[in-house]
Amino acid sequence: MSLLTVGSVAFDAIETPFGKTDKIVGGAGTFIALSASFFEPNQKLVSVVGDDFPKEMIEKLQSKGVDTEGLQIKQGEKTFFWSGRYHNDMNSRDTLVTELNVLEHFDPIIPASYQGVEYLMLGNLSPQVQRSVIERLEVRPKLIAMDTMNFWMDIALDELKKTIALVDVLIINDEEARQLSGEYSLAKAAKVIRAMGPKFLIIKKGEHGALLFNENNIFFAPALPLEEVFDPTGAGDTFAGGFIGYLASTDDISFDNMKRAIINGSAMASFCVEKFGTQKLVEITKQDLENRIEQFIALANFEMVQTVG
Amino acid sequence: MSLLTVGSVAFDAIETPFGKTDKIVGGAGTFIALSASFFEPNQKLVSVVGDDFPKEMIEKLQSKGVDTEGLQIKQGEKTFFWSGRYHNDMNSRDTLVTELNVLEHFDPIIPASYQGVEYLMLGNLSPQVQRSVIERLEVRPKLIAMDTMNFWMDIALDELKKTIALVDVLIINDEEARQLSGEYSLAKAAKVIRAMGPKFLIIKKGEHGALLFNENNIFFAPALPLEEVFDPTGAGDTFAGGFIGYLASTDDISFDNMKRAIINGSAMASFCVEKFGTQKLVEITKQDLENRIEQFIALANFEMVQTVG
The 8 Å CB, 24+ separation contacts for A252-256 are A253/A142, A253/A143, A253/A168, A255/A212, A255/A214, A255/A217, A255/A219, A256/B302, A256/B303
Of B39, B228, B299, the CB nearest to A220: B299
The ipTM is 0.89
**Residue of A39, A119, A302 to mutate, interface with B, max B Cβ within 10 Å:** A302
Q: Could you tell me if B112 and B68 are in contact, meaning their C-beta atoms sit under 8 angstroms apart?
A: no
Tens digit of each residue's pLDDT (9 = 90 or more) over B170-217? 999 999 999 999 999 999 999 999 999 999 999 999 999 999 999 989
pLDDT > 60? residue A309 = no
Q: Per the CB < 8 Å rule, is B299 touching A250?
A: no
* Cα separation, B44 vs B22, whole angstroms: 28
**Residue B291's closest chain A neighbor by CA?**
A307
**The pLDDT value given to residue B32:** 98
| Contact residues, chain A, for B260 at CB < 8 Å | 302-306
Tens digit of each residue's pLDDT (9 = 90 or more) over A43-77? 999 999 999 999 999 999 999 999 999 999 999 99
**Residue A222's closest chain B neighbor by CA?**
B220
pLDDT > 80? residue A307 = no
- Look up the CATH architecture of domain A3-300: 3-Layer(aba) Sandwich (3.40)
**The pLDDT value given to residue B306:** 52
Tens digit of each residue's pLDDT (9 = 90 or more) over B116-160? 999 999 999 999 999 999 999 999 999 999 999 999 999 999 999
**% of chain A surpassing 70 pLDDT:** 99
* Cα separation, B206 vs B270, whole angstroms: 10
* Cα separation, B220 vs B190, whole angstroms: 13
| Contact residues, chain B, for A250 at CB < 8 Å | 306, 309
**Residue B209's closest chain A neighbor by CA?**
A208
Average pLDDT of the segment spanning A103-124:
98
Q: Is A238 helix (H, G, I), strand (E, B) or coil?
A: helix
**Residue B218's closest chain A neighbor by CA?**
A299
Of A227, A290, A307, the CB nearest to B185: A227
**The pLDDT value given to residue A306:** 52
Tens digit of each residue's pLDDT (9 = 90 or more) over B8-26? 999 999 999 888 999 999 9
* Cα separation, A143 vs A121, whole angstroms: 9
Other beta carbons within 10 angstroms of residue A56's beta carbon come to 9
Tell if the pTM clears 0.90, that is, is over it.
Answer: yes
* A243 min Cα distance to partner chain B (Å): 12
Of A38, A187, A300, the CB nearest to B227: A187
**Residue of B216, B250, B304 to mutate, interface with A, max A Cβ within 10 Å:** B304
Give the DSSP letter string of A175-196: HHHHHHHS-SSHHHHHHHHHTT
Q: Where are the domains of chain B?
A: 3-300
**Residue A224's closest chain B neighbor by CA?**
B220
| Contact residues, chain B, for A260 at CB < 8 Å | 302-306
